[in-house]
Amino acid sequence: MPDLIDVILLGIVEGVTEFLPISSTGHLLIAQHWLGARSDTFNIVIQAGAILAVTLIYRRRLWQLATGWRDPANRDYLFKLGTAFAITAVLGFIVTRLGFTLPDRVMPIAIALILGGFWILAAERYTAGRPASTTITWKVAILVGLAQIVAAIFPGTSRSAATIFTAMLAGANHRPAATEFAFLVGIPTMYAASGYQILKKLAEGPGQEDWAALGLAFASATITGFIAVKWLLGYIGSHSYRPFAIYRIVFGILLLVAVPGG
């Protein structure tokens, strides 16, 4: 029973933090510091639960893009989504082949949280007062693809923060437009990462992973992810991301104090 509660809690942490710019991987690794470490497969696959939530929320937009591909604007947007995903997939494969693994120490995550918080404040300041642009350029698409890899390599960075603020700094400084592109790119990215991990584990032997616990965490991540994203999309319509930056900085400092040398 305690283990079931732990995996549900981890799923909730993932669902709440995956699309808020505060780093889901960082929060998961920190939570596992006290609730017990989980496999990379667990950490990656439950992210797909939050991605499923976003898929459901953006289902009309996805249907519009899929059925309206003959429209030049939709086709252009799809090509840019595909380009960002392809960059992430290729570089992600290279990083995986090089043997990259997530760190098990809190300190680098805390530092990434703090630095990312200051970066968000700088991005908000830089884009403030500029004419709002909803255009997703090729520059935005390429840099967002690269940003996803940076976030994967440095837990605590936050994939959503890296992609949203890269898009804003690259020219798409309309928060809802930048957020939508960042979230839509995340859909194939995380599904592909989860699928790769599942196939890899099945090849090694399904008994090496607690699939029941993984399924429970996946379900709790989906439910809480849906609620969190719905709230965030309403929030950014009239608010900036600055409160998230402040949270990151304060939380990172508290972690450095609470887990010295950790």
At residue 170, the pLDDT reads: 94
What pLDDT score does 104 carry?
Answer: 65
pLDDT value, residue 1: 53
Residue 206 is encoded by which pair of tokens? 């399904």
pLDDT at 260: 63
CA distance linking residue 217 with residue 228, whole number of Å: 16
The reported pLDDT for the residue numbered 16 is 94
Go through 151-162 and write b for each residue having 16 or more CB atoms within 10 A of its CB, e for each that does not.
Answer: bbebbbbbbbbb
pLDDT, one tens digit per residue, over 138-151 is: 999 999 999 999 99
Please list the rounded mean pLDDT of every run of 10 residues in the chain (262 residues). Answer: 81 93 83 80 84 95 92 96 96 84 77 94 89 93 95 88 94 93 94 84 72 90 96 92 96 84 59
State the alpha helices, DSSP H only, in the chain.
2-17, 24-35, 40-57, 59-67, 72-97, 107-127, 138-153, 159-169, 175-204, 211-235, 242-258
Quote the pTM value.
Answer: 0.88
